[in-house]
């Protein structure tokens, strides 16, 4: 296959940014589809950082055996400030040439996509992106690899917290991941039947919340679960404030990185597999610079440079439903 005057012989795969369950399924799908199509395949360890350190290993059919069900990523992942600079990209480009890598599949979030888009812009280097982040905050896809598992993991934890909250008649603040995105918090709040949800995208009013707690208590309510996205406030501070303002015993739990690990759900494995195969099919067609996503259950392509951070489109609806059903 000819590309920019060069035959494509070798594809490399890397994961970048925060890991998410299902990344391994994507690696497997990309590697096996590429190998079966006659390409050589390299895995780049530790994302762009590993690329700059030349941590590059050949992958074969067996390298990706039995990983579809495993959380994390066999290639490991990292955040890499050096690659964010153009000097870092120049170094990366030279290393890609040195290892005869003709195309790169990047699994990551919007920062990872931005880096890939710039590599294409600067050097015309063939890149394809797969959406890998639990935050589900990328344009060009209804769902990112990992978000479904993360929501289920958080729900499982909150169901357990609900038991103790109800038995001891307490308020629980549950802090979930999402620095800039309230996606996980809103999904989890709706799915867990939480009493309230605090997200970075919405202004939050302590007075209103504490008034509702007091009014609910008068009507016989004895326990509350309030979900907060990490970027909207710290669980312990919110718990202290609520205790001070209402007099009710309040505890907090930070679910943290538990949400990033564990066995990927069927939905994440299948999504990752479909997207991974589609990425290689694009490369075979000589189409590059795209983020491969899913929209209305069909493969959907977006220019990488446009696949930036997006706001959860059901934010207002989910918030309204959480409050409606309290």
Catalytic residues: 135
Count of residues that bind ligand F6P according to CB under 6 A: 10
Nearest to 213 by CA among 237, 189, 185, 248: 248
Name every residue whose Cβ is closer than 8 Å to that of residue 212 and which is 6 or more positions away in sequence: 195, 196, 326
With CB under 6 A as the contact rule, which of the stretches 34-42, 173-181, 216-224, 232-240 interacts with ligand F6P?
Answer: 173-181
Name every residue whose Cβ is closer than 8 Å to that of residue 75 and which is 6 or more positions away in sequence: 13, 14, 15, 23, 27, 43, 44, 45, 46, 50
Window 237-276: residues binding ligand F6P (CB under 6 A): 260
Q: Which residue among 8, 34, 92, 177 contacts ligand F6P (CB under 6 A)?
A: 177
Cβ distance to ligand F6P smaller for residue 33 or 144: 144
Considering the rule CB under 6 A, would residue 302 count as an interface residue with ligand F6P? no
Q: Are strands 6-7 and 2-3 parallel, antiparallel or unpaired?
A: antiparallel
Q: Which helix (H) or strand (E) holds 57?
A: strand 56-59
Considering the rule CB under 6 A, would residue 134 count as an interface residue with ligand F6P? yes
Nearest to 116 by CA among 98, 99, 104: 104
Q: Which residue among 21, 47, 129, 178 contacts ligand F6P (CB under 6 A)?
A: 178
Closest CB 19 distance from ligand F6P, rounded Å: 8
Considering the rule CB under 6 A, would residue 144 count as an interface residue with ligand F6P? no
Considering the rule CB under 6 A, would residue 135 count as an interface residue with ligand F6P? yes
Nearest to 31 by CA among 4, 3, 56, 10: 10
Closest CB 23 distance from ligand F6P, rounded Å: 12
Cβ distance to ligand F6P smaller for residue 16 or 250: 16
CA distance 69 to 21: 9
Q: Which residue among 112, 133, 141, 144 contacts ligand F6P (CB under 6 A)?
A: 133
Considering the rule CB under 6 A, would residue 175 count as an interface residue with ligand F6P? no
Considering the rule CB under 6 A, would residue 289 count as an interface residue with ligand F6P? no
With CB under 6 A as the contact rule, which of the stretches 31-39, 56-64, 171-179, 300-308 interacts with ligand F6P?
Answer: 171-179
Please provide the DSSP assignment of 169-224 as one string: T-EEEEEES-SS--HHHHHHHHHHT-SEEE-TTS---HHHHHHHHHHHHHTT---E
List interacting residues with ligand F6P (CB under 6 A): 18, 109, 133-135, 177-179, 230, 260
């Amino acid at each position: 296959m000819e590309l920019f005057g060069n035959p494509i012989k070798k594809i490399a795969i890397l994961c970048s940014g925060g890991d998410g369950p299902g990344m391994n399924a994507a690696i497997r799908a990309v590697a096996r589809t590429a190998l079966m199509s006659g390409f050589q395949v390299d895995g780049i360890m530790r994302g762009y950082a590993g690329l700059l350190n030349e941590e590059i290993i050949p992958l074969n059919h067996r390298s990706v055996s039995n990983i579809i069900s495993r959380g994390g990523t066999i290639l490991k992942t990292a955040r890499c400030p050096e690659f964010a600079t153009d000097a870092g990209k120049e170094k990366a480009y030279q290393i890609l040439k040195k290892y005869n890598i003709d195309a790169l599949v990047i699994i990551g979030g919007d920062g990872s996509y931005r880096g890939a888009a710039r590599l294409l812009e600067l050097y015309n280097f063939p890149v394809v992106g797969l959406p890998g982040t639990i935050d589900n905050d990328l344009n060009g896809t209804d769902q990112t690899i990992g978000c479904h598992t993360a929501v289920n993991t958080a729900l499982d934890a909150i169901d357990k917290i609900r038991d103790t909250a109800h038995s001891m008649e307490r308020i629980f603040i549950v802090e979930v991941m999402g620095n800039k995105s309230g996606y996980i918090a809103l999904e989890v709040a709706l799915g867990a039947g939480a009493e309230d949800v605090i997200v970075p995208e919405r202004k939050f009013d302590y007075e209103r919340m504490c008034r509702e707690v007091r009014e609910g208590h008068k009507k016989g309510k004895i326990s509350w679960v309030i979900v907060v996205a990490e970027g909207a406030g710290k669980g312990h501070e919110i718990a202290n404030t609520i205790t001070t303002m209402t007099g009710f015993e309040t505890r907090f739990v930070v679910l943290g990185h538990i949400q990033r690990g564990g066995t990927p759900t069927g939905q994440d494995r299948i999504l990752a597999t479909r997207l991974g195969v589609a990425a290689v099919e694009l490369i075979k067609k000589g189409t590059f610079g795209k983020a491969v996503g899913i929209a209305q259950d069909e493969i959907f392509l977006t220019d990488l440079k446009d696949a930036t951070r997006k706001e959860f489109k059901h934010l207002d609806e989910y918030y309204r439903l959480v409050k409606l059903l309290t």
